[in-house]
Amino acid sequence: MPRGPSSIFDEARAAFAAAGQTIANVRRDFPEWHRGRPRYALWAVDVDVPAVRDAVSAAGTQLADLLLPDYRRQPHITLGLCGFPVAEPREPDDFGPTELSGQLAALRALAPAPFDIDIGLLASFSSAPFLAVHDPQGGIARLRRSLTSAQPEWAEPDGAYTPHVTVGLYAGSWPTADIQRRLDRVPAGPALRCRVDRIGLMHYAAAEIGGPLTTEAEFHLATRQFG
CATH class of 5-220: alpha beta
Rg (CA), the chain: 17
Q: What is the pLDDT of residue 154?
A: 58
Q: Where are the domains of the chain?
A: 5-220
Q: How confident is the model at residue 158 (pLDDT cuts 50, 70, 90)?
A: very low
First-to-last C-alpha distance (Å) of the chain: 32
Q: What is the pLDDT of residue 9?
A: 75
Q: Do residues 123 and 132 touch, judged by C-beta distance below 8 A? A: yes
The closest alpha carbon to 166, from 211, 112, 141, 130, belongs to 130
Q: How confident is the model at residue 1 (pLDDT cuts 50, 70, 90)?
A: very low
Q: Is 74 exposed, middle or buried (0-12, 13-18, 19+ CB in 10 A)?
A: middle
Span 61-113, pLDDT tens digits:
999 999 999 999 999 999 999 999 999 999 999 999 999 999 999 999 999 99
Asked if the model's pLDDT at residue 157 lies above 60, the reply is: no
Q: Do residues 182 and 59 touch, judged by C-beta distance below 8 A? A: no
